[in-house]
């Protein structure tokens, strides 16, 4: 199981320059500090990108950010769960391994179910 997780992580790191993704993410937060009345400018982008066993094959995480690339052509999402059930959604296009185009930044609501 650990070997499969390692292979998936290597594949994501080959596809995306994760340092460039972190830079793109910081730049996006700086240039879009308020979205739908929510201050997103101080959301942390820190640490190394890594996969968890529970992640889908095309998802990799950095602190609370998730890079989700599920084979949607050149499009991918960066999402961040906030403590109040809201979620920041950044949609972008992958132009080159280390170049990206911002499509949108929005606030949504995370669908969560609670067990009694």
The total number of structural domains in the chain stands at 1
Domain membership of residue 115 (yes or no) is: no
Beta strands at 65-72 and 75-81: parallel, antiparallel or unpaired: antiparallel
Domain membership of residue 99 (yes or no) is: yes
Residues in contact with 64: Cβ distance below 8 Å, sequence separation at least 6, in sequence order: 43, 44, 80, 81
Domain membership of residue 93 (yes or no) is: yes
Grade residue 116 by pLDDT with cuts at 50, 70 and 90: very low
Domain membership of residue 116 (yes or no) is: no
Q: Whole-prediction pTM value? A: 0.85
Domain region containing 72: 2-109
Domain membership of residue 59 (yes or no) is: yes
Please report, rounded to a whole number, the percentage of residues in the chain having pLDDT higher than 90.
52
Q: What is the mean pLDDT of residues 46-63?
A: 79
15 contacts 74 by C-beta, under 8 angstroms: no
Domain membership of residue 77 (yes or no) is: yes
């Amino acid at each position: 199981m650990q070997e499969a997780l390692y292979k998936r992580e290597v594949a994501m790191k080959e596809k995306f320059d994760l340092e460039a993704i972190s830079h793109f993410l910081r730049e996006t937060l700086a240039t879009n500090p308020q979205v739908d009345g929510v201050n997103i400018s101080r959301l942390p982008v820190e640490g190394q990108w890594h996969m968890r066993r529970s992640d889908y094959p095309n998802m990799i995480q950095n602190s609370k950010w998730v890079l989700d690339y599920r084979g949607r052509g050149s499009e991918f999402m960066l999402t961040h769960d906030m403590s109040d059930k809201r979620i920041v959604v950044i949609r972008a296009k992958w132009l080159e391994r280390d170049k990206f185009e911002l499509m949108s930044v929005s606030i949504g609501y995370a669908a969560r179910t609670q067990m009694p």
